[in-house]
């Protein structure tokens, strides 16, 4: 995202969006905004974005874990040699 113009996007948004707008609470935007404002170097901002993204993903996993009964969930170990076969079998049943 950084290589695709995120910093430039935040620079533009900083000129148009109020500093207290809820949009700045989106994952990573506060850190990139602090970089644009000169309060964080790019490396630190990048690390904060990575941490925020991991934390968000963890919250999503926790939320999803409670949406279905455990028996309805197929658990996979991606390092298991049969993982692809299990996915293929599950996918074919779902069709």
Give the pLDDT of residue 83: 92
| Per-residue model confidence as pLDDT tens digits over 28-63 | 999 999 999 999 999 999 999 999 999 999 999 899
Buried b (16+ CB within 10 A) or exposed e, 31-70: bbbbbbeeebeeeebbebbeebeeeeeeeeeeeeeeeeee
**Which domains are present in the chain?**
6-94 (1.10.287.890)
pLDDT at 68: 84
Q: Apex CA 16: angle with CA 52 and CA 9, to 5°?
A: 50
Query: What pLDDT was estimated at residue 69?
Result: 87
pLDDT tens per residue, range 61-85: 899 888 988 887 778 898 999 999 9
pTM above 0.85, yes or no: no
Looking at residue 95, its pLDDT comes to 73
């Amino acid at each position: 995202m950084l290589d695709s113009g995120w910093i430039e996007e935040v620079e533009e948004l900083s000129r148009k969006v109020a500093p207290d707008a809820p949009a700045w609470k989106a994952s990573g935007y506060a850190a990139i905004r602090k970089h644009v404002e000169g309060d964080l170097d790019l490396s630190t901002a990048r690390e904060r974005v990575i941490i925020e993204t991991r934390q968000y993903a963890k919250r999503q996993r926790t939320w999803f874990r409670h949406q279905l009964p455990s028996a309805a969930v197929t658990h996979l170990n991606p390092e298991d040699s049969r993982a692809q076969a299990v996915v293929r079998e599950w996918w074919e049943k779902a069709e």
